[in-house]
Structure 1
Amino acid sequence: MSSPSTPRLSSAVPPALPLKHPPGVRHLPVNLFASVMGLSGLALAWRQAAGQFGAPPVIGEAIGAFALIVFGVLALAYLAKLAWHPDAVAAEFRHPVAGNFFATIVIALLLLSAVLQPYGGAVAVAVWTLGAVAAFVLSGVVMSRLLRGAIDAKLAVPAWVIPGVATLDIAVTGAQMPMPWAAELNWAAMALGTVIALVLLVLVLSRLVHHEPLVGAMVPSLLVLVGPFAVGFLAYTAMTGAVDRFASMLFYFALFIFLVLAPKVFRRDVPFAPAWWAIGFPLAALSNAALHYAAVRGGWPLQAIALALLAFLTVVLAVLTVRTLRFAIDGRLLAG
């Protein structure tokens, strides 16, 4: 059973609530929206691989369509939870750990806008605008909570970084938006996202160094720490239009962090739970960054790294999809 100092991410409910309930939409964890983040990122990576390596375009478009379907199902289910169990949603939002996973909804919207862009400019703009506004609001909420003070340092887990990454994603997906005001909004997002992500990253690293290791259910979220650097690379290159020395530093540090953390995450003794989807988007961001870096810099070693990361991401998300469907079928997905 979880304690207040180690909240249970797989259920995304406050530790004070009972952990065992009959299955139902009340227990739908908000962190499942991380699946849409990973699938959308995978779709964009395969779309890039189609132009870069000649991969069949249908792969990326099919994965993008699947991501849209998953988002639609989760959105309807979570709206039902909000309508029927607003207390459960409020408890998740106020939770010092689970509350950060509401940023997964925001990132999902921003990435889906990029998935939709080739098919409907107006729809993509509307989805991106909604995601951008939500990201700024969530950034304000996060900073307001932190400045209240008296927060237990043991609660500074990798999920804290997600809202900062969400704000950075505004620039990643909005650099090509046609509105005249989009450019300034993107730079504002770069400023807020960079500072918030770095500040929270320092707090999380301090907790990881000075306190006990994360419990099993939280271990996969370690890969979230790749996000600020991989997404930072994508945001910076999208806004500047160049892969310069600073961009190279961001990419290589993201790759380094992944190589350090991967052996700690991909272990047989880490049990599967919906919280495993937290690895999807950081891996997808790193894969997209590697593809872009290889396209600009060239050379077979960089191309090999990019293709290896894309293959690894594809296999990991396929496994997560199958295991999540099994959880849904046998009733464990919505068990309290």
Structure 2
Amino acid sequence: MSILEQASVAPVTASQQRADRWAERVRYVPPAWFSTVMGTGILAVVAASLAQRPWAGPTTARVLDAVAVATWLLATALLLAVATGAALHLRWHPGTARGHLRHPVRGPFVGAAPMALLTVAAGAVLVGPGVVGESVAVDLALVLWPAGTLLGLTTALLAPSRLRALRDAGQEPEPFAGWLMPVVPPMVCAATGPLLLPHVAASLRGALLVGCLVLAVLTLLLSLRVGGLLVGRVRSQGLGPAALVPTWWIVLGPLGQSATAAHHLGAAAPDPALGRAVALGYAAPVLALALVWLAVCAARTARALRTGLPFALTWWAFTFPLGTVVTGTVAVADLTGWWGLDALAGGLAALLVAAWALVAVRTLRGVYSGSLSVPV
């Protein structure tokens, strides 16, 4: 390079160097990172729900409340970190971000973003008042829940057109359980929306309740459509390779959340007795189906772990869907008053804690080693 050419090159400032380093760090931020928020936030919701059960004595309730506070704060911090990383990724690497959305496996996990918002919103109502005060907690929920609802409706309604676009482009992606991710968020809205009823104007409560019911029905219709494709896949090919095993836990999400939503909506109905009866008629068989599928997933996962299951962000599917089964079990326990379901919920919650600890440690290890910062 000549002297004139050297003189024409502007020196790289320290701020530019820092920006370049950050740009490199967020080069690969797939939407599945939001599942870390979901998996951590559901732990807070589960702990808060169990702390309110009649069997929880003062000491147990204090422990559960402490767990709920710690995990909700962690989920909130993770939401800020992941959302910031995703925004910077979109700004500095828009082509890569669009590639994630078009990818037949990574793309469906865009549904994790609205569910992350909704899970933290639920924690804000259940846990937040004791941490940041009721006013701040409710305001936070009233921001996150509508944002999660709008984003979730977008992902759910665009999911069928996205599949058509892949087929029009000559791709015939194999159905896998991750296809449920973009269609489940409206059901999470339906399960968490009733928590806001005491905090909105009386004139809006009816509309909120009806809106949650519509969102639940929408998810059921879309899930049935995707479910039909998944049943065909299982009949013809089984659960597929070991790497896809964690994604089959996602099927538990719409089952557990719909049982939880049925309980919350039934309890808030104008005729609570009728609402609870209808809720029980729906939630009990759905919970039974969820428990059967949980047993299938657990057996298949144990086999995959023995033969070698590579770690990926899909392992977070071991957490949130299982957490929804816990809340669904608590819902049916409340509707029936049967102590056995409370015991089952406690056992499943212990399994959830173990799964969360395992996946969190493996995620931290992957971040430290850099293995989660490159495409797989």
Query: Aligning the two structures, in what range does the TM-score lie when normalised by the shorter sequence?
Result: 0.7 to 0.9
1:145 maps onto 2:146 in alignment: no
Q: Partners in 2 of 1:30 and 1:232 — Cα distance?
A: 24
Deviation at 1:28, TM superposition (A): 2.3
Deviations 1:285-321 (A, max 9, x none): 0111122322332334222211110000001101111
Number of aligned positions between the proteins: 315
Residue of structure 1 equivalent to 2:41: 40
Looking at secondary structure, tell me which structure has more helix per residue: 2
Q: Partners in 1 of 2:214 and 2:248 — Cα distance?
A: 27
Q: Partners in 1 of 2:310 and 2:73 — Cα distance?
A: 29
Residue of structure 2 equivalent to 1:169: 188
From 201, 226, 229, give the equivalent of 2:227.
Answer: 201
Instruction: Report which structure shows greater RCO (CA 8 Å, sep ≥6).
Output: 1
Q: How does 1:1-336 map to 2 (within 5 A)?
A: 24-52=25-53, 53-54=56-57, 55-56=61-62, 57-117=65-125, 118-119=128-129, 120-147=137-164, 154-177=173-196, 178=200, 180=204, 181-211=207-237, 213-241=239-267, 242=276, 243-266=279-302, 267-268=305-306, 269-336=308-375
Q: Partners in 1 of 2:25 and 2:91 — Cα distance?
A: 13
Q: Look up the SS of the partner of 1:175 in the other structure.
A: helix
Deviation at 1:128, TM superposition (A): 0.2
TM-score (norm 1): 0.88
Residue of structure 1 equivalent to 2:16: none
CA contact (8 A) 1:132 1:167 kept: yes
CA contact (8 A) 1:39 1:317 kept: yes
Deviations 1:117-143 (A, max 9, x none): 243212211110000011111112112
Q: Partners in 2 of 1:302 and 1:123 — Cα distance?
A: 32
**187-196 or 263-272, which moves further after superposition?**
263-272
Calculate the aligned-residue CA RMSD, in Å.
Answer: 2.0
Q: Look up the SS of the partner of 1:77 in the other structure.
A: helix
Structure 1 stretches of at least 4 aligned residues deviating more than 4 Å after TM superposition: 147-154
Deviations 1:115-171 (A, max 9, x none): 112432122111100000111111121122245556866521000011221111110
Q: Partners in 1 of 2:104 and 2:34 — Cα distance?
A: 18
Q: Partners in 1 of 2:172 and 2:261 — Cα distance?
A: 30
TM-score (norm 2): 0.79
Q: Partners in 2 of 1:29 and 1:152 — Cα distance?
A: 21
CA contact (8 A) 2:31 2:110 kept: yes
The residue identity in structure 2 corresponding to 1:214 is G
Q: Partners in 1 of 2:85 and 2:43 — Cα distance?
A: 23
The residue identity in structure 2 corresponding to 1:162 is M
Deviation at 1:90, TM superposition (A): 0.4
Q: Partners in 1 of 2:224 and 2:239 — Cα distance?
A: 21
Q: Partners in 2 of 1:74 and 1:326 — Cα distance?
A: 17
Deviations 1:12-71 (A, max 9, x none): xxxxxxxxxxx8422222212111111111101000111112432111111111111111
Q: Look up the SS of the partner of 2:104 in the other structure.
A: coil
Q: Partners in 2 of 1:279 and 1:239 — Cα distance?
A: 26
Structure 1 vs Structure 2: percent identity of aligned residues? 26
Q: Which has the larger radius of gyration?
A: 2
The residue identity in structure 1 corresponding to 2:335 is V
Deviation at 1:218, TM superposition (A): 1.7
CA contact (8 A) 1:41 1:111 kept: yes
